[in-house]
Amino acid sequence: MEADLIPARMVNEFVYCPRLFYLEWVEARFADNDDTRIGQQVHRRVDVEAGTAPLPEDGDLREARSVTLSSERLGVIAKLDLIEGSAGTVVPVDYKKGGPQSDGTPWPSDEVQVCLQALLLREHGYRCDHAELYYAATRQRVRVDLTAERVARTEDLVADARGIADRAVAPLPLVDSPKCPRCSLVGLCLPDETNALLARRDTPPRRLVPRDPDQRPVYVTEPGSFVGVRSGRLEITKDKEKIGSFRMLDVAQLAVFGRVQISTQALQQCFARDIPVLWLGPGGWLNGFAVGQPSKYVELRRRQTAVHAQGGAGLARRMIEGKILNCRTLLRRNARGDVTQVVASLKRLADQARQADNFSTLLGIEGAAARLYFAVFPSMLAPVAGDIAAEFSSLGRNRRPPLDPLNALLSFCYSMLTKDLVAVTLGVGLDPYLGVYHRSRYGRPALALDLAEEFRPLVADSVVIGLLNNAEIGEGDFLRRAGAVALTQSGRRSVLKAYERRLDTEIQHPLFGYRISYRRVLDLQARLLAATLVGELPEYKPMTTR
């Protein structure tokens, strides 16, 4: 089987950071930031094909832009920004957005990239004795001569990059490197977090996780509405009257409830921008979702499938342990009566969950913890929610359909949490259907439900308690039919507002020490799970608050 040709720009990444090279080239993961966008602007002119580029035997090459060359011998392919020719000699010119080093010399990674371009020209019969780098920030060209030593080093680096690419697991992150903060893949790579969990650094992690994105979910709850797209905006109409408009740039996901239609054009725009579209029933139950191209991170899916087939007991134990500990913390913080015995019992059950030797035992432990927790759940509610708390106490936890207002709120918030974790797992490259604790069956996003366990008390239960204690929702926000209880249209809107506020709440991360929102923690935990699945981290650590 022929080896893939490595793009010269990927060899540049390898010299800069072997892990960055692996993530982009082998795992096909990429993320934009301000630097990459500026680089795209700098390249606009040279990215347009222009000029003729005859082979040496066919005539003289004067000037050509955006020329692609490859070499099986070198094992490299490259798109040359600019080739200038004079007196039978050609010079490749590569455009860079920044400036050279302080002493005026090129950066090592840039030097290797442009050297490869010159070698590709030689491979195609052109006379080429040097290359040049154009640094846009300082508007200067820097010459790179093709000395024998430089050529040999460049070819050795290509071989080294190919060796790294053949590995099953990415190289470990750089330790305390100044390169990390401005790297576009820092939120995927998690260098300081990974190094901290592997005890490769003594100091606390820097806050390298990118700030929360500006994008937010768009919820369409109005029955009979229509979602279309116009001039780069999602537009929601009903009876041809506009009821909402959002820039596509600001949309993280599109969630539609019940009887809502979406145009083909809107779907295509969402898929082109990696915006997941999720369909939910009127009560919040996730009916399905759609995305564009599946993740190219094949190795992660392969490892996930293997762990799923083997049972994933170790991961499941930690997730349930985290859930029980978070339930315990929520009770300690909010209970208005004496729950000392329940808190102590939950601590024992969390310890037992971590040591459980089979799934039957783990299921039993989780069930016992849930019964204890929900039996005293009403103790966390203020007197203003007295009737709702009393009804829950008499019925207990129930679902599908909920039989009382508190259960309706819990089920709806759990559905929203599952919906968000489906979107997160898809973004990370995981398969949301292949779980490690919940049994996989048709239409069930088992892995999203797994990750939701530790976040139920942290996010969903906290939203419900806040809504009732602050009297943001009352009996008039529920509809009772044939013994079942559901949220009204206005009730759903109130819950969604409170839910989004909770996701935007910042906390101090218990493992890494920096402040981070729950919205970002969902993504962080999914990436830590992915790192555990591929063998980068020895064990999964759940998100627990003290």
453 carries a ligand binding annotation: yes
Helix (H, G, I), strand (E, B) or coil at 526: helix
Q: Report strand pairing: 286-290 vs 277-280.
A: antiparallel
Q: Identity (one letter) of the amino acid at 7?
A: P
Give rounded-to-5 percent helix, strand, coil for the chain. Answer: 45, 20, 35
Q: Which residues share a beta bridge with 80?
A: 67
Residue 206 and residue 181: Cα distance in Å, rounded? 9
Cβ neighbors of 295 (< 8 A, separation 6 or more) are 301, 426, 428, 429, 430
Cβ neighbors of 276 (< 8 A, separation 6 or more) are 253, 254, 270, 289, 290, 291, 422, 423, 426, 427
Residue 46 and residue 249: Cα distance in Å, rounded? 26
Question: Are the beta carbons of 251 and 275 closer than 8 angstroms?
Answer: yes
Question: Are the beta carbons of 220 and 259 closer than 8 angstroms?
Answer: no
Q: Which residues of 454-482 are buried (b: 16+ CB within 10 A; e: fewer)?
A: bbbbbbbbbbbbbbbbeeebbeebbeeee
Question: Are the beta carbons of 446 and 430 closer than 8 angstroms?
Answer: no
Question: Are the beta carbons of 68 and 75 closer than 8 angstroms?
Answer: no
C-alpha triplet 252, 255, 257: angle, nearest 5°: 165
Question: Are the beta carbons of 36 and 184 closer than 8 angstroms?
Answer: yes
> Nearest CA to 420 among 321, 280, 283?
280
Annotated binding residues for Mn(2+), written as ranges, equal: 366, 438, 453
Annotated binding residues, written as ranges, equal: 366, 438, 453
